[in-house]
Amino acid sequence: MEALLEPLEYEFFRHGLLAALLVGSLCGVIGVYVILRGMSYVGHGLSHAAFGGAVVGFTLNLNFYAGAGAMGLLAALLINRVTRSGEIKSDAAIGIVTTAIFALGVVIISRVRTFTQSFEAALFGNILGITGGDLLVIALVTAGTLCAIFLMYRPLLFSTFDSEAARVSGIRTDIVQLVFSLLLTLAVIASMNVVGVTMIAATLIAPAVTARMLTDSFSRMLVYSWILGAVTGVGGMYLSYFFNAASGATIVLFGALLFCLAALLRQIRERSLLRANLHRHGSLTHAHVHPSGHGEGYHGSGDSPDAIDAGAHPDPALFEAVQGHDGRRHAAP
Amino acid sequence: MDPAIRLSDVTAGYAHDVTFSRLSLEIPRGRFAGIVGPTGCGKTTLLKTILGTHRVFHGSVRLEGAPVERVRPGAIGYVPQLGSVDWSFPVTVEEVIMMGLYTGRSFRPWPSRKERARVRELARRLGIHDCLHHHILHTSGGQRQRAFLARALASNPRLLVLDEPTTGVDIMTQHEILHLLGDINDEGITILLTTHDLNAVASHLPWVICFNHGVVAQGRPCDIFTSEVLTRTYGGDIVIVRHEDHYLIASGTPLRFSNGVH
C-alpha cells in the first residue's frame, strides 16, 4: 500500500495519474464504437491530422488545441465527405486526408527546425508534463463525451449495428455519424499529449477489444471497456513509475497485456465449455453443439455453430479425441 | 382509402445507371406480396425506394397517402438480409429486439419496465423467449430471422418489409417463417418481401410481383406462374410442374455428366 501511495507525493505524478485515468475512461468508451463501426484506423489517422494541425496552428500563433482541433475536425469532415459516395473506402480516404495533413506539419517542422523539440510531446506523449490547463481540457472533453454517449446510447447502438434499419426507424444516421466523428476528434486531441500521436490508436482499441473477449453483450462491453480503460491508464502509470519507463508506452503495453490475458481466459473458457459439452452427451465421440444454445452451448469467437457441427474443431487435440483411434470421425450414438 | 404503397412514375438508380424508370405500382393495405426476379433486376433498389432510404430521380413514393419521407418513425418495420448482418457484433437477442423500440423520444440508455415487457411479449409470440439472453451468433437461422422480425414488429408498424427472409434457411424454417408472416398479415399488417425461392412463394404467398427493371406481371401465383411470364422475368427456360396446390419450378436443361452419373 505504501508503495502505491509513495508516488502520489509528487504533483507531476498526481496530474499524470488523473490524466491517465480520464483519458483511459474516455478512450475505453469511445473505442467500443470505434472498433464496432470499423473505424480503428480513423483514430490513428485523426491523431496524425491533429498533429499537423497543431504545427500549422503554432505557425499562426494559435493555441495547441485550437490548431489540432480545427485540423482534426476538418479531417473528420473530409473523410465523411469522401466516403459518402461509397466509391472510396474509408481506409483509403483516411490514408490520403490525414497523412497529407500530417505531411504538411512535417514539412513545416523541417523548414523551421526549432519546432522539433516542442512537438516531441505530441508525437510520443509527455504525461508527466501535463499542466493544470491540459487537465481541465481533458476533464471537460471526457465529461462532455460521456454525457453525449449516454444520451445517444440507443441511436448510436442501432446505427452502428444496422445503419439501414436505423434509417428506416427514423434515426438520422448521417447526423449520428457526424456527431460521433466530432466526439472521436475531441477524444484524440485530448489524448495526444498524454499517450502521443503514435500510440493513440492502441489506447482507443485495446480496452474495447479486451472487453469484447469478456462478453457478448453490448451494454456490458461498454461498461467493461470503460473500466478497463481506466484500469489500464492507472496501472500503466504506476508501472511506468516503478520501472522508470516512458509513461505512454507503458500504458499501451499494459493494455496489450490485459488483452492477452483476456484472450487466454476466453480460450480456456471455450475449451472447458466444449469439453463439458462432449461429456454431457455421454461420449467424446459426439461433438454436437446446440445452435439454440441450450445450457452452456457454443460460445465461440466467430465460427458459426454449423462450422463446429461440420467438424471444424478449434483445438487439434480435442479433434483427435472426437475422432476414434482409427482416425475416422464416429457418428453420434 | 389510400393504398399501403403507391409509386407514381418513379425513376431510380445510381450515378452511372438507371435501375428502373417510370415505374408505377400500387400495393393495397393488408396485402401479403412477394417480389421475385433475377439477381441484379432491381428488387433491393425497389425495396429501398419504398423504405425511403434510396433517393429517386423522378416521381413520388407514398405510404398510406403520406410521402415516404414524412412517415412517422416506426411506421415501417424492416428486416434486412441476414447475409448483411455482422454476426460477431456483441448483441444479445434481447438487445436486437430492443433496438426496434427506439422512437427518438427517450434519451435514457436503459429500457423501461414497459419496454422490457414488450420485448418479452414479442419474444414469446415469436417463440424465441428461451434465447433472449443469447448472443445472436449462438442462435439458429430460424431464431435469427425471428429476432429481426421481432425488432421490426416492436414499433407496431403498418407496413413490414423483408429483404430475402427465406435465404440461408432450410426448407422447414422457410415454411415456418412464411406461415408466421401469414399470421402477422392476418392482423392487418401489409407485408412486402423479396425472395429468390419461387417454390416457397408459389405455395405460401397470395400475391406475387414478377420484377425485372420494371413490373413484368403481378397477380396470384396460380395465375402468373406460367412458363411464359417466368421466362420473360428471368430470360431463360423455366419448367413448372404443378401437383394439387404445390409447384415445382426449375430452370434450364439438367446437366448430363460424361461419367454416367446423372
- Taking only the tens place, the pLDDT of each residue in A168-177 is 988 999 899 8
For A234, residues 6+ apart whose C-beta sits below 8 A from its C-beta are A17, A20, A21, A24
What residues of chain A have any CB closer than 8 angstroms to a CB in chain B? 36, 85, 150-155, 157-158, 161-162, 164-171, 212, 215-219, 221, 291-293, 297-302, 304-305
Question: Is A117 exposed, middle or buried, given 0-12, 13-18 or 19+ CB atoms closer than 10 A?
Answer: exposed
CB pairs under 8 A between A and B: 112
Chosen for mutation from B137, B148, B164 (greatest number of chain A CBs closer than 10 Å) is B137
Can you tell me the mean pLDDT for A143-162? 94
Give contacts of B 148-207 with A, CB under 8 A: 151-152, 155, 161
Which residues of chain B are within 8 Å of residue A305 when distances are taken between CB atoms? Answer: 138, 140
Residue B254 pLDDT exceeds 60: yes
Q: Which cell numbers in the block locate residue A273?
A: 465449455
Higher pLDDT, A128 or B129: B129
Contact B90 A36 (CB under 8 A): yes
- pLDDT score of A7: 83
Q: What ipTM does this complex have?
A: 0.86
Contacts of B103 in chain A (CB under 8 A): 170
Q: Which region, left, alpha or beta, applies to residue A86 given φ > 0 means left and ψ of -120 to 50 means alpha? A: left
Indicate whether A331 pLDDT > 50: no
Beta bridge mates, B61: B7
Instruction: For chain A, give every residue range classified as CATH 1.10.3470.10.
Output: 2-258
Mutation test of the interface with chain B: which of A32, A39, A149, A154, choosing the one with the most B Cβ atoms within 10 A? Answer: A154
Of A170, A215, A293, the CB nearest to B90: A215
Q: Which residues of B touch A299 (CB under 8 A)?
A: 135, 138
Using the predicted structure, report yes or no on whether residue A283 has a pLDDT greater than 60: no
Domain A2-258 adopts which CATH fold? ABC transporter involved in vitamin B12 uptake, BtuC (1.10.3470)
Run of H or E including B21? strand B18-27
Average pLDDT of the residues of chain B: 88
**Predicted local distance difference test score (pLDDT) of residue A316:** 42
Quote the minimal CA–CA distance from A166 to chain B in Å. 8
At residue B255, the pLDDT reads: 65
Which of A15-24, A259-268, A274-283 is the least confident region?
A274-283
The sheet with strand B18-27 has its strands ordered as: B18-27, B5-13, B56-63, B66-67
Query: Is the predicted pLDDT of residue B261 greater than 60, yes or no?
Result: no
Q: Which residue type is seen at B123?
A: A
Q: Which of A151, A165, A297 sits opposite B80 (nearest CB)?
A: A165
Choice between A115 and A159, residue whose per-residue pLDDT is larger: A159
Alpha-carbon distance B55 to A327, whole Å? 58
What pLDDT score does A78 carry?
86
Which of A74-83, A94-103, B127-136, B247-256 bottoms out in mean pLDDT, i.e. has the lowest?
B247-256
Q: Which of A87, A149, A168 to mutate to test the interface with B (most CBs of B within 10 A)?
A: A168
User: Coil, strand, or helix at residue B58?
Assistant: strand
Quote the percentage of chain A above a pLDDT of 70.
81
Domains of chain B: 1-75+157-221 (3.40.50.300), 88-155 (no CATH)
CB contact under 8 A, B95 and A217: yes
Q: What is the mean pLDDT of chain A?
A: 80
